[in-house]
Amino acid sequence: VNTCEGLIVTEMVFAGILNELEPAEIVATLSALIFQEKTDEGMDSELPERLVTVCERMREIARHLGQEQKNHGLPVDPLEYSATSLKLGLVHVVFEWACGVPFSSICELTDVQEGSIVRCITRLDELCREVRNCARVVGNPTLYRKMEAASEAIKRDIVFASSLYVS
């Protein structure tokens, strides 16, 4: 996994966290690893309870990994590692996008610029392919199929238009 913090993704795959989720929930969860910008937004109050729970589990994994790195002599602060590895600013936006909500509507859910949303979603598709390949390698056909469905859920409309000027 080269798109984001590979340790966290690997732990999530081996812990089976993604297996329990629907494709839209998977991409929303993974967006926390892709999105890089600082925002004032924490977790959205309108986020489904399952997503809130999964985001908390991701934070626990990140803190644990930070602590393990610190225990092995690396100059890592577990809380800082968690905070810099996970940015939850677009979790709700990506969830709604994967559920089929129009781009103009998801833009109203956040103060993040449209270009940053598009960049996050296109990078998210790359991460979906990487996790799908991981699932194939570790022999998890269920996750493989879910990652294909997750990728398809976000590949639509203006975000994946080859050009805004030529149709």
Sign of CA dihedral 99, 104, 106, 112: positive
Q: What is the largest CA-CA distance in the chain?
A: 55
pLDDT band at 157 (very low <50, low <70, confident <90, very high): confident
CB 56 within 8 A of CB 32: no
Give CA–CA dist 120/143, Å, rounded: 22
Spatial neighbors of 58 by CB under 8 A, at least 6 apart, are 8, 12, 17, 29, 32, 33, 86
Q: What does the block give as tokens for 45?
A: 């109050």
Q: What is the pLDDT of residues 26-59, one digit of tens each?
A: 999 999 999 988 776 566 678 889 999 999 999 9
Taking the model in full, what pTM does it have?
0.90
- Let me know: does 32 contact 54? Beta carbons within 8 Å: no
Q: What is the pLDDT of residues 132-154, one digit of tens each?
A: 999 999 999 999 999 999 999 99
d(CA 135, CA 143) in angstroms, rounded, equals 6
